[in-house]
Amino acid sequence: MLNIALFGPPGAGKGTQSEFLIEKYKLFYISTGDILRKEIAEGSTLGLEARSIIAAGGLVSDEIIVQIIEKTIQSNPNANGFLFDGFPRTYIQAYILEGLMIKLNTALNCLISLEVDEETSVHRLLERGKQSGRMDDNEKVIRNRLREYNEKTLPVLNFYKEKGNYFAVDGSKSIEQVSADIEVIVQNELSKSLMNIVLFGYPGSGRGSQGRALAKAYGLEYIATGPMLEQEIAKKTTIGKQISQLYESGKLVPDEIVVKLIEKKLEQSKGVKGFIFKGFPRTLVQSYILDGLLKKHGSSISKVIELEVPTLELISRLDARSKTNDCMPYDTSTEKIVKRLQEHESKTVPVINKYNHLHGVSKINGMGSFEEVNQRLSEEIENAFKTLTHN
């Protein structure tokens, strides 16, 4: 999702620039002012409550605002993202917005502040008042609205300055120039959204070879825990030595080690478009860890894919692999192969079910040639890229 808040004093050009943003990024527009005016026109209880406050240039209560925003968001569950105009207008509303975004499992990408001086605001609003017919576009009320803005709304900027997602634009320039400046900010924000794919499938389903090929084709970093552990052993790092000892004693590698390695990889991978995770998360605990790790990097899971291959075919593939040079230490006997399939069923299938509930899991037929399966997976990824960038 792409969520943007347009900020600025009355008359800064928020409404005008909204039109450009909605069109370009297909966002759902939420203007608290428009919604309130509609409520007033309809004569609803809420409208009656808001009417006199708006007419005097004051701010409507946060209680009313939270109700209208929540209702609007809930009635648009499939939006690409939201564009807020005229919200948040108080420090409390900034917290409300945080809460609403968390509820949607998303976040506000940026707050773009259109900066204009007071006289420009007054001049523009008086001009607008000649046609708008708005009861609050006259000089006395305009001055009051600006006073409310300076006292209650301006402090909201500190909230976002501290969070690091506040961007200022000179709103006194031409409409086209302001749009161009906003576009630079949004594009930059979009380029930060990583494509994070989790690739599931039973052992033998082709996750490894497909995952590596897809990562290469789409500029993604391939993160597979198995090979990462082996690499540490080969490099004889401190962690590598710990892992060897654990392998020798037949114990599982604890999550603490796996997490450290993944975290290191996420930090070192600058400039990638995203990640393909294979073999992780393997357990429900690890799925919470992945959510946490990505969140720490301001990111989240974009796409979950499961490669489906019938059990008999899996056994036959793994058995065939055990007779080749590609044989893994864990493929050497039927007993080990069956154990791995059972582990997947008991520990990893619940993770897939969880993701299915949360994000939806794309089930891809893993039968056929490497190229055929690759083609099916590529289509999924290309579609995922389209919804990620909204272009």
Site residues (CB under 6 A) for ligand AMP? 10, 32-33, 36, 53-54, 57-60, 65, 86-87, 89, 93, 136, 145
Q: Which CB sits closer to ligand AMP, 50 or 289?
A: 50
Q: Which CB sits closer to ligand AMP, 36 or 261?
A: 36
Q: Which CB sits closer to ligand AMP, 89 or 303?
A: 89
- Minimum CB distance to ligand AMP, residue 371 (Å): 54
Residues with Cβ < 8 Å from 26, sequence gap 6 or more?
Answer: 80, 81, 390
Largest CA distance in the chain: 86
Q: Is the dihedral angle over the CA atoms 231, 233, 237, 238 positive or is it negative?
A: positive
Q: Which of 223, 351, 316 is nearest to 277 (CA)?
A: 223
- Minimum CB distance to ligand AMP, residue 32 (Å): 3
- Minimum CB distance to ligand AMP, residue 354 (Å): 36
Q: Which two tokens stand for residue 197?
A: 């794919």
Residue with tokens 């945080």: 98
- CA distances 6 to 30, 110, 220, 271, 357, Å, are 10, 9, 32, 28, 33
Q: Is the dihedral angle over the CA atoms 359, 365, 366, 369 positive or is it negative?
A: negative
Give the whole-angstrom CA distance, residue 349 versus residue 343.
9
- Minimum CB distance to ligand AMP, residue 106 (Å): 20
The answer to whether 301 and 360 are in contact (CB under 8 A) is: no
Count of other CB atoms within 10 angstroms of residue 62: 16
- Minimum CB distance to ligand AMP, residue 136 (Å): 6
Cross-strand pairs, 388: none
What are the two backbone dihedrals, phi and then psi, of residue 103, each rounded to the nearest 5 degrees?
Answer: -60, -30
Count of other CB atoms within 10 angstroms of residue 171: 27
Q: Which CB sits closer to ligand AMP, 86 or 281?
A: 86
- Minimum CB distance to ligand AMP, residue 10 (Å): 5
- Minimum CB distance to ligand AMP, residue 209 (Å): 53
- Minimum CB distance to ligand AMP, residue 92 (Å): 10
What are the two backbone dihedrals, phi and then psi, of residue 111, each rounded to the nearest 5 degrees?
Answer: -110, 115
Q: Which CB sits closer to ligand AMP, 33 or 281?
A: 33
Q: Where are the alpha helices (H) located in the chain, listed in sequence order? A: 14-25, 32-42, 45-56, 62-74, 91-103, 118-132, 139-148, 156-163, 175-192, 207-218, 225-235, 238-248, 255-268, 284-296, 311-322, 334-343, 349-358, 370-389
Q: Which CB sits closer to ligand AMP, 117 or 372?
A: 117
Point out the residue whose Cβ comes nearest to ligand AMP.
Answer: 33
- Minimum CB distance to ligand AMP, residue 20 (Å): 17
Q: Which CB sits closer to ligand AMP, 91 or 385?
A: 91
Q: Which CB sits closer to ligand AMP, 59 or 110?
A: 59
Give the whole-angstrom CA distance, residue 334 versus residue 330.
10
- Minimum CB distance to ligand AMP, residue 275 (Å): 37
Within its chain, how far is the Cα of 273 from the centroid?
14
Q: Which CB sits closer to ligand AMP, 136 or 306?
A: 136
Q: Which CB sits closer to ligand AMP, 59 or 114?
A: 59
